[in-house]
Structure 1
């Protein structure tokens, strides 16, 4: 209808909301879960139990062992140890080793190893020194995790263990700002500010069957 000034007056009433019948709601177990395809699927709690999770985990480990490890034929009757190293690292028994391609001071080498989640080489047996020399290509001088402490004036490894007394005597008198270095497989003392390559080490990842 029009008012006195000729304008059309509209009567607009709010739309009533219809209550949804609870009987028509989709049952919880039929509801769909939508996720980003790049994300992990959302799984309702209780849908996968611990037994299924353990089974899937064992299957993944088994496939990794088959792909990454050389499993002996008698693996069913004899346990084996499958040790893995990161890319560009080389393994000797239970450790992984990495030799730098650039040169720097001892302290910079130490910082680089720590940034890689490792430490500078701590030699525990002569086989390690020989192995490092064999993989170092043209690098003849290599920083290792050996340093001096003052005022005690002793050689210690980066992990806090002391250097063997016989090896300490071979290095000669302890001087300030001295660090350990491998020279053709033998340990020598050198100024920590000298620039050369270095060696990092870390424990190998154990992907064994048991």
Structure 2
């Protein structure tokens, strides 16, 4: 048995014969212990600082990488936005052009439909008269002649009338089909229904100095419907000359006018004359 004893005298007297004395070194100084403890603390702090430095480096590196990725994303988004805006502008431009073209086509179709509708109404309006004329023409060929009016002429009270849709001078109109000669008031009303609101030539002239009807009717004995102060043979036309040809105004009154004036006219012939 080995016993450790700090007090040498006690150990020598008390256990001298029994135990073998082992000498222990004296305790380490407190300063050394403190130094060891401070060294460990410094190592711990140093290790912590190293870890913090490594963490900061890692975070900094990741931040730089994230910033670079964010910059790339911003550039890509900017390019994408520019491209989208450009394509959108092109689409809007093309769409606007196509819309304008479609609107123009639609307006044209509407005008065409209105024109066709007006033409159809006109045909429907004249259909009974055209049918009657056609029936008369068929009867004419079957019976070798009948007292019906030619196609596009209107029959009224035993006479056939043709109303122009364009203008000519008085002489051109007379040479074309023969102007309407003298007519009683009842015929004047019928004529106005088909000429109003246009002024219309009639077959009356004083080119030789006195008024006469082109069909030979006696002017002095025939019906007259001159407007107030007419005929006046006005000489103020720019091309010179007076007023030697008669026209029917929209109000039904007669007026003498410059024969070179271009306006509509009416032709008349007896119903027993076919053409």
Matched, 1:197 2:264: yes
Equivalent pair of 1:103/1:196 in contact (CA under 8 Å)? yes
CA-to-aligned-CA distance 1:163-182 (integer Å, 9 cap, x gap) = 24765795334464520001
- SS of equivalent residue, structure 1 residue 122: coil
Pick closer, same or farther for the CA change 1:162–1:205 going to 2, 3 Å: closer
Pick closer, same or farther for the CA change 1:168–1:156 going to 2, 3 Å: farther
Greater helix percent: which structure?
Answer: 2
Greater strand percent: which structure?
Answer: 1
For CA contacts below 8 A with separation 6 or more, give which structure has more relative contact order: 1
Equivalent pair of 2:198/2:249 in contact (CA under 8 Å)? yes
What is residue 199 of structure 2 aligned with on the other side?
141
Pick closer, same or farther for the CA change 1:168–1:183 going to 2, 3 Å: closer
Equivalent pair of 1:96/1:201 in contact (CA under 8 Å)? yes
Rounded Cα–Cα distance in structure 1 between residues aligned with 2:213 and 2:167: 21
Rounded Cα–Cα distance in structure 2 between residues aligned with 1:109 and 1:206: 19
The alignment of Structure 1 onto Structure 2 pairs a total of residues equal to 122
TM normalised by structure 1 equals 0.50
- SS of equivalent residue, structure 1 residue 98: strand
What is residue 160 of structure 2 aligned with on the other side?
96
Structure 1's consecutive aligned runs of 4 or more residues displaced over 4 angstroms after TM superposition are 165-170
- SS of equivalent residue, structure 1 residue 195: coil
Rounded Cα–Cα distance in structure 2 between residues aligned with 1:107 and 1:123: 17
What is residue 120 of structure 1 aligned with on the other side?
179
CA-to-aligned-CA distance 1:156-203 (integer Å, 9 cap, x gap) = 111233424765795334464520001022211110011100111111
Give the superposed CA RMSD: 2.9
CA-to-aligned-CA distance 1:132-151 (integer Å, 9 cap, x gap) = 11122x5520011010143x
Rounded Cα–Cα distance in structure 1 between residues aligned with 2:258 and 2:189: 23
Rounded Cα–Cα distance in structure 1 between residues aligned with 2:256 and 2:246: 5
What is residue 77 of structure 2 aligned with on the other side?
none
Equivalent pair of 1:141/1:183 in contact (CA under 8 Å)? yes
Rounded Cα–Cα distance in structure 2 between residues aligned with 1:183 and 1:200: 16
